[in-house]
Copies of this chain bind each other. A is one copy, B any other.
């Protein structure tokens, strides 16, 4: 007897949406991609060519797509600005949801998704923090969890994009929520994972510069940011994000404990090839995050599918996504006000925390 497959739709067929669609189509054996939505004519054309022949219906109306017969789950991979709205609609339509990060650049909207999900406890609602599905991050977590580094105390993490001289990031900045919400959101989520989802922020401080794209300032954003987050209980996370890496994408993390340190991707590499040439020894690194995290996205698709079909627990809770956005927004605020922001031991904002 052939096994039942999860009936999945993808919303958005842009860069990341198209990848999600192909992952569910080709690399997620227990899922069947039955529908896709995009309002964009070019993306519609792409879908017609690459998805339709495999039995996937292309919609240009999101609400219509939600009514696709037999549909069980929706992957929301549109622009960040509509993530929350689409996720909530899908939840209300009684569909499982895998929503790209962040749920929203607003804490309130993010919370609204969580609230909608809470009202439908039988649904699986996942925020796509892809690094949570990365084999190396998982290995590091297990090593830490087994006590190999003692008690984790310092967390350093960076998300650094290759320089894109086209100006793309300037336009993008008006919707992205800013570099701390867009880039470091991953690092913040990792800090919460490694330090514990119930960690309470004590203070937040960020600074930044526009070294290559001064027009970012009009959207209150920067191209290089440094943020420091203190947690109650003696833990510190510090972050770096950048849009001007020359060599390529370099996302990396260190978890420093009382008895050791774990690093993830300290020495990035795009392949296993090293070149010895007159100018020295050289290796290339991935140009984009997808080169680094492709496997994690595929794992995400498969695990989401399995959780929906088997009604098993997702690997992490949705509510953490709100906490991550909250910290990201506080960092972005600190960047722009120039001020350090304080919180008390219940996580409530205060003028100046005691020490």
A residues sitting closer than 8 Å to B (CB atoms) are: 1-3, 25-27, 29, 53-55, 135-136, 139-140, 143, 148-149, 151, 153-154, 156, 203, 205, 207-212, 224, 226, 228, 230, 234-236, 238, 240, 242, 244-248, 250, 256, 258-268, 270-285, 336-340, 342, 352-353, 355
Q: Which residue of B lies closest to A224 (CB)?
A: B154
Given contact pairs A205-B205, A280-B283, A154 touches B246 in the complex (Cβ within 8 A): no
Query: Would you give 5 A-B contacts (Cβ < 8 Å), ordered by A?
Result: A3-B53, A205-B205, A209-B234, A224-B236, A262-B274
Q: Which of B149, B226, B260 contacts A228 (CB 8 A)?
A: B226
Asked if B260 and A238 sit within 8 Å, CB to CB, the answer is no
The copy count of this chain in the complex is 4
Complex interface: chain B residues within 8 A of A282 (CB): 279-282
A1 to B277 alpha-carbon distance, docked (Å): 48
Asked if B211 and A275 sit within 8 Å, CB to CB, the answer is no
Asked if B259 and A236 sit within 8 Å, CB to CB, the answer is no
Extra inter-chain contacts (9) besides given A140-B273, A154-B226, CB under 8 Å: A153-B224, A154-B240, A156-B240, A246-B260, A247-B280, A260-B277, A261-B275, A263-B273, A339-B352
Asked if B272 and A246 sit within 8 Å, CB to CB, the answer is no
Asked if B278 and A274 sit within 8 Å, CB to CB, the answer is no
Asked if A276 and B245 sit within 8 Å, CB to CB, the answer is yes
Asked if A267 and B267 sit within 8 Å, CB to CB, the answer is yes
A236 to B3 alpha-carbon distance, docked (Å): 54
Asked if A277 and B340 sit within 8 Å, CB to CB, the answer is no
Q: Which residue of B lies closest to A235 (CB)?
A: B209
**4 nearest CB pairs, A to B:** A136-B272, A261-B276, A26-B29, A153-B211
Q: How far is the CB of A261 from chain B (nearest CB, A)?
A: 4
Q: Which residue of B lies closest to A208 (CB)?
A: B236
Complex interface: chain B residues within 8 A of A277 (CB): 148-149, 246-247, 259-261
